């Protein structure tokens, strides 16, 4: 994810041992004793990466518990994000006075079935995708970008955002995406100055789709 985020964001990507790393007690309590093995591995890799990214930022590597809504709880003055998909996990953090919010998402590069496509994309987004170069699952890219948008939006606004509440444009040449948020969600936002537009980067290789975005401070 280092390639998709600006230099003021510290990033850590999991290595092979990180999936079997150590959780701090407060983190283990959030995971719970009944978590299945795959969930335990994902959660653990995310926390190991989170603490490594915090250390790179020069912040003491404290526990990163989960809020009741599942969002990670970062130390005061820090914003951050975690993603995991089979075989890949990363965390990114930044100082809140330099970055208002950061989000990222990784997905396996695969086709999505028609039902999921309808859920994820607006008809006009599928029209756009039909004109993009072949050989790439643009549905997987759109899905990843929209999850990134939610991870950027939710920590600062605190409200739900449906997949159809963001109109995304993908530029395969630059690897940039732009999303306009639905006016109704902006009007209903309980914070001043909710982000009307989210811009970020995406990348696609044979196995993996990645996307990331930051919001600048107000």
Ligand X SMILES: CC(C)(COP(=O)(O)OP(=O)(O)OC[C@H]1O[C@@H](n2cnc3c(N)ncnc32)[C@H](O)[C@@H]1OP(=O)(O)O)[C@@H](O)C(=O)NCCC(=O)NCCS
Q: What residue ranges bind ligand X (CB under 6 A)?
A: 42-43, 46, 66, 69-72, 82-84, 105, 146-147, 149-151, 154-155, 161, 163, 165-166
HSE of 35, CA atoms in CB hemisphere, 13 A: 15
Count the Cβ atoms, other than its own, within 10 Å of residue 26: 14
Of 55 and 71, CB closest to ligand X: 71
* Minimal distance, residue 90 CB to ligand X, in Å: 9
State the Cα–Cα distance between residues 215 and 204, nearest whole angstrom.
Answer: 22
3-state secondary structure of 26: helix
Of 149 and 189, CB closest to ligand X: 149
* Minimal distance, residue 206 CB to ligand X, in Å: 19
CA separation, residue 8 to residues 78, 99, 111, 159, 176 (Å) = 12, 8, 34, 26, 19
* Minimal distance, residue 134 CB to ligand X, in Å: 25
Instruction: Mention every residue, 6+ apart, whose C-beta is less than 8 A from residue 217.
Output: 96, 97, 98, 99, 100
State the Cα–Cα distance between residues 205 and 208, nearest whole angstrom.
Answer: 5
Helix or strand (DSSP H, E) at 90: strand 88-95
Q: Which of 32, 27, 60 is nearest to 44 (CA)?
A: 27
* Minimal distance, residue 144 CB to ligand X, in Å: 8
Of 83 and 213, CB closest to ligand X: 83
Of 34 and 134, CB closest to ligand X: 34
State the Cα–Cα distance between residues 64 and 165, nearest whole angstrom.
Answer: 29
Of 169 and 173, CB closest to ligand X: 169
Of 59 and 163, CB closest to ligand X: 163
């Amino acid at each position: 994810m280092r390639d998709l985020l600006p230099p003021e964001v510290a990033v850590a990507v999991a290595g092979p041992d990180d999936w079997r790393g150590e959780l701090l007690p407060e983190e283990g309590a959030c995971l719970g004793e009944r978590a299945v093995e795959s969930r335990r591995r994902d959660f653990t890799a995310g926390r190991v990466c989170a603490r490594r990214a915090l250390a790179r930022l020069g912040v003491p590597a404290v526990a990163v518990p989960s809020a009741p809504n599942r969002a990670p709880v970062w130390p005061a003055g820090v914003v951050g994000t975690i993603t995991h998909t089979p075989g890949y996990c990363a965390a990114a953090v930044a100082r809140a006075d330099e970055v208002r919010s950061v989000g990222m998402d990784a997905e396996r590069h695969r086709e999505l079935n028609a039902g999921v496509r309808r859920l994820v994309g607006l008809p006009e987004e599928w029209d756009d995708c039909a004109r993009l170069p072949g050989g790439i699952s643009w549905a997987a890219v759109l899905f990843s970008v929209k999850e990134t948008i939610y991870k950027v939006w939710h920590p600062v606004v605190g409200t739900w955002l449906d997949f159809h509440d963001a109109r995304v444009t993908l530029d395969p040449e630059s690897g940039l995406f732009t999303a306009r948020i639905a006016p109704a969600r902006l009007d209903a936002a309980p914070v001043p100055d909710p982000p009307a537009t989210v811009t970020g980067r995406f990348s696609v290789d044979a196995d993996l789709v990645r996307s990331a975005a930051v919001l600048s401070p107000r």
